[in-house]
Homo-oligomer: A and B are copies of this chain.
Amino acid sequence: MSDLVTRLRRHNWRITPQRRVIAETLEGSHVHFTAEEILERAVERMPELSRATVYNTLNEMVALGEVLELTLDGRSKRYDPNADHEHHHLICEGCGLMKDVHAMADPVDWLPGDERHGFSVTRASITYRGLCPECQAAAS
């Protein structure tokens, strides 16, 4: 049973077969897929599924607040089904491997008032960068 599907249903969102396949594909993996990767995997289960439906569905899930959109490499967006859970990202500059990580406090607390320029700051995310164990070994 998909937790994401349950959360989506709470918004009175119609769960069509296409949307179910997309949600389950998104949730069934530990990595954050791009839209194309989700399309590729979902099509294995539902061959007639179209590219437009995948893009539409992902955008709607983001708008509902149940999926996070990540733009970390400047190429394509990635989708993270863990929308409620506060976390950050660690990226390998060698191979692009990405991990979810947790910091010790909320970075919003570390932005002084005089650096806020009158904004109401609601959230903050940290992108850590470095080399994963494999790329460190390859570089030495």
Contact = CB atoms under 8 A, between A and B. Distances in A.
A13 interface: no
Interface in A50-71: 69, 71
Contacts of A17: none
Instruction: Kindly list the 6 A-B residue pairs having the minimum CB-CB distance in the complex, ordered from nearest.
Output: A71-B74, A121-B130, A118-B133, A119-B130, A101-B115, A124-B128
A129 interface: yes
Interface residues of A, number: 40
A92 B132 CA distance: 32
Given A93-B122, A101-B117, A122-B131, 15 more contacts: A90-B115, A101-B115, A102-B112, A103-B107, A104-B110, A104-B111, A117-B132, A118-B132, A119-B131, A121-B128, A123-B128, A123-B129, A124-B126, A124-B129, A125-B129
A48 to B, nearest CB: 28
A71 B73 contact: yes
Nearest to A128: B124
Interface in A1-35: none
Interface in A73-121: 73-74, 77, 90, 92-93, 99, 101-105, 107-108, 110-112, 115-121
